[in-house]
Amino acid sequence: MFKSIQWKIIAIFLLLTISVMVVVGTFLLQNISSYYLNDFKNAMSERVFNDEFLDELSEAADGPDALADMEELLSVYSVWMGIDSFRNYYVLDGSTCRVLGGSSRSDAFFTTPNIVTAMAGMTGDNIDRAADYMDYAVPITDSSGAVRYIVSVRDTKEEVYDVTRNIFVNILWAILFGLLFSLILGFVLSGTIISPLATLQYRAETMAEGGFKQKIEVQSRDEIGRLTMAFNTMAAQIDESLADIAAEKNKIETVLQHMTDAIIAFDSSTGRVIHENPACVNVLGDAGDKTFDEIFSSELGLDVTMSRVLYLDEDRALEFDVERDGKNYKACFVPFNAENVFSSGVIVVFRDITKQLKLENSRREFVANVSHELRTPLTTVKGYAETIIDVETDEGRGDGPTAGFARVIDAETDRMTRLVRDLLTLSQLDDAKQRLNCATFDLMALTESVVEKLGINARAHKHTLSFIPHGERFGFFGDSDRIEQVLTNIISNAIKYTPDGGKIDVECGSDGQNALLRVTDNGIGIPREDVPHIFERFYRVDKARSRQSGGTGLGLAIAKEIVQRHGGSIEIESHMPEGTAVSIVLPLFRQNPEAEVEPVL
């Protein structure tokens, strides 16, 4: 109860009242005490012991009955000195300070600081506030100027104490009444503040339980009123936001419930399942209390851990091929993060690719079978065409229509043969069981050799074909024939699609982790809209020119497949009409008996 705001406000009122009363009381008591002390000193110095009275005392001190004469004079001025039961005057011996007479008989010796001062011939008028008395002492000298007597007025401060005690008691009563008044006033005033705050508290508790419809009446235009209006606005906005969130949640849940892809989510802290849709139950069964590692490492045997997924970049994901119950799935692992949280968990999506793989295998088998079947008739057609050309030439009809037709057939047969060869190459690369013939070779020397072989073709087009090595020669573990095929395809394209008299640079180097190859030309370039499709099979930018130059539309697709089989990447940058740059990055490899190749870490 005493921790509430109302009691804090009341406590502030009480403390403020006490503080004011204490300060005022202390100031009042100090001033009253000072007033009495100053009044005593002024009365002694100005109204009593003035120069005239002191001269009379000095004359009396020289008389034959000095003590009696002095006491008679002092008794006359006793009214002015305020002599009563608390205040007395004394006549002291000027040398011994022994009491000789006065309003109160005493055989004591007075040695207060003021009397000591008077013994030295000066008026002792210093008032000690800490002492329980106040006194005033004047020296009485004879005709020779010697201090014969000392007149001292001494007050016990009882009157001052009585007054201050009465004032103190009154101050205490004032504090008590002030506290009572402050308590009542604090209750009344704090109620005007606490009442709307209590309403806000009740409304906040209602909101915590899900009630956002009820509004609070704004009763004032002060800070609390503005807070109430802001609270009503916040409640309305939260209600609207929750409605939108609920709608989106229902949409997502509906989508997840009816998705054909299996989806399962795991919490990053516990590794346990937090959500799975019905399709996931069909794939993995009821996950129950199983953890991420139990499902994917133990049951499915995948080389994946939750920590590995959580530390992936935002735009990356891990993919694995999973075979389960006679079906093939593509498992995609991605982390998901809540706001201001590094990693909340992992989502795994299983996509059924059984039909896709069957279609892929069927297509691959069809292409391979057709390619194999076409090789024999193409060889036969080419043989007959060459025979016709030879016969026509021997008979002197080499320029005749028959020979012309035969040459067209021969050229088209060559183009078909190249197409079949490229299709067979792609079929071999698509076959996961087909291994690369890997060995360690000098990649820089291979690149230079390809540049030299294609130099004749480049010079025929008046191109400047240059080989630019970077750094020392280095060994590369891979299939040298396939890498040569990649370089040949890319450099040949640069020669074909660069106008005569162009410049082509072939660079080769290493950064210690990767082999770097780059082919740059100043040719016609590639339109921006065609760049994303340039590695697709049978895709041609300029179809008429590609067909005229004998292109099959498979060269770059084959190059990409070979580079990817080596664990590398290939990219094209092109700006019309400035030219094209093809960059290849190949990880440096070392041999591993249990795998085809393995990167050097």
Residue 411: give its domain's CATH number: 1.10.287
Cα four-point dihedral sign 431, 437, 441, 442: negative
Say yes or no: 444 and 480 in one domain: yes
Please check whether residues 106 and 224 belong to one and the same domain.
no
Residues 382 and 488 in one domain: no
183 located within any domain: no
**Average pLDDT, stretch 206-232?**
69
Determine, yes or no, domain membership for 237: yes
Same domain, 594 and 470: yes
- 472 and 445 within one domain: yes
Asked which of 369, 399, 430 is the last residue of a domain, the reply is 430
Q: 340 in a domain, yes or no? A: yes
pLDDT band at 516; cut points 50, 70, 90: very high
Residues 346 and 362 in one domain: no
Number of H helices, E strands in the chain: 17, 18
Of 430, 453, 480, the domain-final residue: 430
Contact 262, 331 (CB under 8 A): no
Using a 10 angstrom Cβ sphere, with 0-12 exposed, 13-18 middle and 19 or more buried, the burial of residue 260 is: exposed
Range of the domain at 27: 7-162
Does the pLDDT at position 567 exceed 90? no
Which of 522, 507, 503 has the alpha carbon at shortest distance from 463? Answer: 503
**Same domain, residue pair 409 and 280:** no
DSSP string spanning 37-82? HHHHHHIIIIIIS-HHHHHHHHHHHHSTTHHHHHHHHHHHTHHHHT
Q: For residues 355-390, b (16+ Cβ closer than 10 Å) or e, as one string? A: eeeeeeeeeeeebbeebeebeeebeebbeebeebbe
What would the mean pLDDT of 196-215 be, rounded to a whole number?
A: 68
For 54-95, the pLDDT digits (tens) are: 878 887 877 778 778 787 788 877 777 777 777 888 888 877
Give the pLDDT of residue 397.
63
Task: Give the pLDDT band of residue 443 (cuts 50, 70, 90).
Answer: very high
Q: Work out the percent of the chain whose per-residue pLDDT is above 70.
A: 79
Is residue 114 within 8 A of residue 126, CB to CB? The reply is yes
Q: Is residue 17 part of a domain?
A: yes
State which H helix or E strand residue 173 sits in. helix 158-208
- Do 305 and 416 fall within a single domain? no
Give the domain-ending residue among 236, 255, 274. Answer: 255
User: Do 390 and 342 share a structural domain?
Assistant: no
Q: Are strands 464-469 and 503-510 parallel, antiparallel or unpaired?
A: parallel
Same-domain pairing of 550 and 419: no
Domain total of the chain = 5
Same domain, 306 and 377: no
Domain shared by 127 and 247, yes or no: no
554: confidence class by pLDDT, cuts 50, 70, 90: confident
Return the pLDDT at 594: 34
- Give CA–CA dist 542/491, Å, rounded: 18
Instruction: Name the pTM for this structure.
Output: 0.44
Is residue 171 domain-resident?
A: no
Look at residue 486 and tell me if it is in a domain. yes
CATH number where 505 lies: 3.30.565.10
pLDDT digits (tens, 9 = 90+) for 152-173: 888 887 777 777 788 778 878 8
